[in-house]
Structure formats: C-alpha cells, structure tokens
Amino acid sequence: MKLQIFTVDAFTDQPFSGNPAAVVPLLEPVEDGILQNLAAEMNLSETAYVSPTGVREKPWVKCARFRLRWFTPTREVALCGHATLATAHVLFHCLGNTNSQLEFETQSGVLVARKNGRDILLDFPGNPPAPLTAEQETQLSPLLQVVTGGLPVGQLLISHTTKKLLVRLHHSCTRGDLEALRVEPGSFLSLHDGSLVKGVILTIRGDLSGNIPQDSPSHQPQYHCFSRYFAPWNGIPEDPVTGSAHTVLGPYWSQELGITTLKCRQCSPRGGDMNVTVRQDGRVDLAGRTTTLLQGHVTL
C-alpha cells in the first residue's frame, strides 16, 4: 500500500517554525493500528488522516466535506487545531481543491476551514476555563510547582471540556521569563495521572509596554497574550503552536482584556502566531498561515 503524505508547518509562513503536522489523504479505509503506527513513525505532535465524503469523481478537487482524525505518537485525540489547519492547506494548495470553504466531520463535531486572504480560518468550539475547586487545587499542587519552574502564579483555571489546565503567571513575569523556562515534561506523568488534566497552558498578558500610553486609542500591542503548552499525557512533551489551547486562551483573554479579536504568540522554541476571534455564539475563529515542507509517499 502506497499513500501520499505531506508535512506542513502550521501557524507560520516560514519553514522550520510554527507547528509541523503530517497529513495523509485516504481514499480507502486503513486499520486504526496502522494509523497509530504511522503517527508514531512520523513522531510529530499530530498526524492527520483525511477522507472525502460523497464525491467519487475528482474527490480531492471537488469535495467540500471530509472526515478527519488526528493521532499523536501515542493515541488518537478529539481535537487538534494545527493539524486541521495543515489539512486545509494540503487540500487547498497541494491537491487543488476548488472550494473556498471546507467542512470536517470530527469527534468534536463539524469543523469549518475557509480561505481568508493569505490566512486559513478555522471555526472551532470555544472552551472557556473555570475556577478549580479547593480539592482540585490540592490534587494538582505538586504538578503546578514543577510545571512553572518556580515562576509565581497569578491565576489557576481549568477547561473541563479539553482537560487543559490554564496557569496565568504573575504579572511580574515577562515574555523572556516564559521563553527561558526549562522544565522536563516527562516528569509531569509521575505527578498527575491525567484523570483531571491532559495538558498545561502557561500564559501571560501580551507586551503592552511602549511609548504610547496603554489607554490611548492609537496604541496597538504587538501581541495580546503569550503562551506555552505541554501535553506529555498525550505523548506531546511541548507542542510548538496549539490551536486547541487557544480555544481556551481566546475566551479567557477576551474577557480579561475586554476585546474579541486577539493576536496571540505561542513562544515555544519554534514559535508561531495566530489571530483569535471570540464570537457571540460561543465559538472561536482561529486564523493562521501555513507552508508545505515535505511531500511524498509512504509505503506500508
């Protein structure tokens, strides 16, 4: 069996930055075990498998609705933003799909991707975080001490729908502090079993400093928030740029800053940018750029 395969750097327009994902178009069913083994072989945070629905003639060109699944090196996951962005990129720019909007049937419902100038925009469910109970804070205390690397914490919240812990660092922490943080994500597994949390977001407010007063109408911050994301429970020590994490960050920072559209920077070593728009219907639009890195075939 020979399958097409692409690797795409998502949430960036520069190669070797952003978040790499593998995308495998499938016209025939493939056993889940093979899908998982291929994802492990690729050893990227996600490998996406996409299949057309309802169109037999030139399906990659004409079809507007697809089935989509995502696998980390160790398991299938219910939601992945950057691999969805990468999949839309492959369909639009590598396989010649002529539609301006694509729909993906997934475990998280129907997700929509559409062309938006140079960006691709993803329509995702929002996942606003909520306060932890006192019991949950006690349960996660050992993990929190390690994941922050000694940096002070300002606020602690959780998104139960995504099992993502949101840690807002104290306002004294800078982007430099966040980027310089060195932790060993593998150690998180011995501190928490994944029953409550499967990913940790560290975040700080964006850089609002400068010569223009913050309350001036002409003040335009470069970024509204910074973050990093760790998910060793899903086989991802640190994810370079994470769409699903921004379904949590977007609603949180939108409420904190009183705005609905945010420019966000995930400042992992690779780094990447996305624009997040929080909608009144509870969903979020994630917009970002993409670039193809590799294209070829895998033989199974």
Please calculate the CA angle 69-34-109 and round it to the nearest 5 degrees.
10
**Which residues have C-beta within 8 Å of that of residue 251, sequence separation ≥ 6?**
126, 127, 128, 129, 278, 284
- Specify the 3-state DSSP secondary structure of 12: coil
List helix spans (H) across the chain. Answer: 32-42, 59-62, 81-89, 134-147, 175-180, 243-257
- Specify the 3-state DSSP secondary structure of 64: coil
* DSSP β-bridge partners for residue 283: 125
57 is catalytic: no
> How many C-beta atoms lie closer than 10 Å to residue 217's C-beta?
7
Q: b/e map of 111-130 (b: 16 or more CB within 10 Å)?
A: bbbbeeeebbbbbbbbbbbe
DSSP 107: T
Q: Are 255 and 205 in contact (CB under 8 A)?
A: no
d(Cα 111, Cα 285) in Å, to the nearest integer? Answer: 11
* DSSP β-bridge partners for residue 169: 153
Residue matched to tokens 């980027």:
179
Query: Of 198, 179, 177, 203, whose CA–CA distance to 188 is shortest?
Result: 198
Q: Are 88 and 78 in contact (CB under 8 A)?
A: no
Helix 243-257 × helix 81-89 angle, to 10°: 110
Please give the single-letter amino acid code of residue 174.
T
**Residue tagged active-site, from 31, 46, 103, 184:** 46
Q: Catalytic residue numbers?
A: 46
